[in-house]
Amino acid sequence: MGRYEILKQFDPDTSPGPVPSPCVSICTLARDTDLCSACGRSLEEIIAWSTTSEADKRIIWRRLLQQPAA
């Protein structure tokens, strides 16, 4: 399942419960942006995901939904 199929399954504004990881298990950092070309997160966001607050995860999801595909 690709990035946008995963992203379509979660709405950070209306989906209840724990915030899922947007990871699609294909980690590849783009050299020009330092973002994962699969999920769109920075390396720092990927590393910190398990300790990131639910509110901050929703902020990250909102950004992922707005950014173009890598």
**Secondary structure (H, E, C), 8-60:** HCCCCCCCCCCCCCCCCCCCCECCCCCEECCCCCEHHHHHHHHHCCHHHHHHH
Give this prediction's pTM: 0.84
- Please write the tens of the pLDDT for every residue from 5-46: 666 788 999 999 899 999 888 889 988 888 998 889 999 999
Q: Residue 3's pLDDT is what?
A: 61
